[in-house]
Chain A
Amino acid sequence: MSSSPKLHYKTVFDIPKEELFAPGHGLCAGCTAGTIVKLLLKVAGPNTVIVNATGCVEVSTTTFPYTSWRVPYIHVAFENAAAVASGIEAALKVLKAKGLIDPNKRVNVIALAGDGGTADIGFQALSGTLERGHKLMYVMYDNEAYMNTGIQRSGATPQYAWTTTTPVGKVLRGKIQFKKPVAEIVAAHRIPYVATANPAHFLDMMNKFRRGLEVEGPSFIHVLQPCTTGWRFDPRLGIKIARLATETAMWINWELDYGEFKVTVPVPKRKHVKHYIRLQGRFNHLTDRDIEEIQKMVDSEVERINKVVGKEIIGPVVE
């Protein structure tokens, strides 16, 4: 397998102008899920089947009798987005074998789910799909809680974050447990392509979507999605916070392409995590000492990533 594929989207002018995601959906003002889904459809093109688990994107883009999707779309329950997507992929294979559709026609099957539908509820369906090796792409937009039902904690909620089920009071000060490293768990399935992406680095994200659709076999893209309602920040700051997540190394954009690990957005000079945390209301209760503790966690994670890559791809804290 040839390593380091050529980047398809090099500048903003390479992005297709065709719009397959219609305006008029009900996502919150400033919700970056709109940005992610819009760019995903620009990469995938019209020959695409979207399988959407219950979640923010589903409830807001398909309020009956309206839909914002200009591609075939199916809504399924929280648990089985991956299972339904693998069924669709198998059905397409049969239709091609029977000659009912052109065997050379490329149809993208994309499963789209939030962090609750991936990390918690839909995990066994996802794991089964990856193990069976269906050719589909699974995109997880991670807003770090069940935002659709009212900000309940999920497996992907980071430590110390306030949610309605991990309230801040005398006993509890935000979530106790760590964030589940979903992309790494998926990578352990030895599938062809796993990546983490961030809407602020949109060209990097789109190249990953494209690579995920190209590979023969399952691929998984974990996308950070700042949530204005649940993370408690001003709607205009969504992309800025996403960018800060990478600049502070709270979020590392990496890809694992046929076993080859690469950090796609190097950060030569890292910022202190307080820049990221102090913008969000869900971390309002944290003292400076707590933030230092988070900084230590991030430092050890950066050290681990640098060790895997073999050089200092993410630099020291400067600011």
Chain B
Amino acid sequence: MTLQIKRLASWREVPVGGAITQPGNSVNRPTGDWRVFKPIINQDKCVRCYLCWVYCPEPAIKIIDRPYKTSSGREWKMTFEVDYDYCKGCGICVEECPVKAIDFVEEVK
């Protein structure tokens, strides 16, 4: 992802009142590099309770329509994934996960 604005806009190009014309364009500003610890969802342990998705302040937990079969044979219709472009690594999902299916490991670059 590249930054949208390469050079400073002149005053003629700025909309009246400094209004921002693209809603939700902060998606172009990834905040994933703030992270020190990285949450990793253990798909085998995850019970798809949605709580991490509810509590994530970013929101950086995605619901993906991808079936998953656990090692014990249980089938799920969807998968939860962390969006590492935006996850700031606060660990709220790790703390709130009722089955402790999210590991919190140090980010290694």
Contact = CB atoms under 8 A, between A and B. Distances in A.
Interface of A: 12-13, 15, 17, 19-27, 29-35, 38-39, 61-71, 199, 202, 228, 234-240
Interface in B23-59: 23-31, 34-35, 49-51, 54-59
Contact of B92 (A21, A38, A236): A236
- The list of the 5 closest CB pairs from A to B, nearest first, reads A34-B57, A236-B91, A30-B90, A22-B24, A29-B88
Interface in B3-28: 4-5, 18, 20, 22-28
Contacts of B20: 62, 64-67
A189 to B, nearest CB: 31
A235 B90 contact: yes
B27 A24 contact: yes
Contact of B24 (A39, A63, A69): A69
- Name, among A20, A22, A62, A202, the residue most crowded by chain B CB atoms within 10 Å (CB to CB): A22
A27 to B, nearest CB: 6
Please classify the interface of chain A as helix (H, G, I), strand (E, B), loop, or mixed, using the class held by over half of its residues: loop
A65 B55 CA distance: 27
A64 B14 CA distance: 11
Please classify the interface of chain B as helix (H, G, I), strand (E, B), loop, or mixed, using the class held by over half of its residues: loop
B74 to A, nearest CB: 18
A25 B26 contact: yes
Given A22-B24, A71-B23, A240-B95, A33 B57 contact: yes
B101 interface: no
A225 B24 CA distance: 23
A121 B85 CA distance: 37
B28 A34 contact: no
Contacts of A65: 4-5, 20, 25
A30 B57 CA distance: 7
Given A23-B86, A70-B23, A238 B92 contact: yes
Contacts of A25: 26, 31, 58
A235 B51 CA distance: 17
Given A22-B24, A23-B27, A240-B95, A32 B57 contact: yes
27 contacts: A12-B50, A13-B50, A15-B50, A15-B54, A19-B59, A23-B58, A23-B60, A24-B30, A27-B57, A29-B35, A29-B90, A30-B90, A35-B55, A65-B5, A65-B25, A66-B25, A67-B23, A67-B26, A70-B24, A199-B55, A202-B54, A202-B55, A235-B90, A235-B92, A236-B90, A236-B104, A240-B96
